Amino acid sequence: MIQVMLSNPKRTNLLPVSVCFPISKYKDVYTRLEAVGIGSATERDCHVTEIVEVLLILKRLEKVSVNVDELDYLAKRLESFDKHQLAKFQGVAVSHGYDDIADLINLTFCCLDATVVLDFTDLSAIGREHYMDLHGGVTEDALKTVDFRKTALSLLLNEDGKVTPYGVVYANGMSLEQFNNGQHSPDYDYDG
């Protein structure tokens, strides 16, 4: 859950509205947003005054205007991530300098292709993770035949990793695809 303080940048005399994302009570939230003149379905009219959240990368959205539905969409996508996937998301965002909400939404679809090394003590585990990142998983046959320690050493010695607060990021050729263009987001089945 992400708690965000949203304000109207055109009416700074009005107090910010606190919204928890993903939104669970839409009618209540939109009523409170409308009371301060924000919450457009199409415009980025909500000024992010403050984000109270453990994902420090989202602090990049402070002091900018966002669309409330885009922020809700991003929160839903991030809620489905486990700890390792969140490290990938944050590490790639830092290493590539992504700070626009559309880029962060797009990143949720492709950051899992990257490899993030958090712990260097187990080379076999690093190699296995990297192999899965490159191949979308690992087969029983690969578990028996691939030397994951050698795979890890090849990654660490031959690839350019970027050190971030979230681990060392290896992009693996990942590119940011435009799933969200700032006006349309891809369908996302979410039931909270």
Quickly list H helices, 20-100.
26-35, 68-79, 83-96
Contact (Cβ atoms closer than 8 angstroms) between residue 6 and residue 46:
yes
- Residue 187 — very low, low, confident or very high, per pLDDT cuts 50/70/90? low
More confident residue, 181 or 176: 176
Q: Indicate the pTM of the whole model.
A: 0.86
Chain segment 116-171, per-residue pLDDT in tens: 999 999 999 999 999 999 999 999 999 999 999 999 999 999 999 999 999 999 99
Give Cβ neighbours of residue 112 (< 8 Å, ≥ 6 apart): 85, 88, 133
Please tell me the distance from the alpha carbon of residue 162 to that of residue 134, in angstroms, as a whole number. Answer: 18
Nearest to 20 by CA among 79, 64, 63: 79
Chain segment 78-89, per-residue pLDDT in tens: 999 999 999 999
- Residue 56 — very low, low, confident or very high, per pLDDT cuts 50/70/90? confident
Chain segment 91-109, per-residue pLDDT in tens: 999 999 999 999 999 999 9
Collapse the DSSP code of 4 into the 3-class scheme (helix H, G, I; strand E, B; otherwise coil) and give the result.
Answer: strand
For the chain, the average pLDDT equals 91
Give the chain's radius of gyration (CA, Å).
Answer: 19
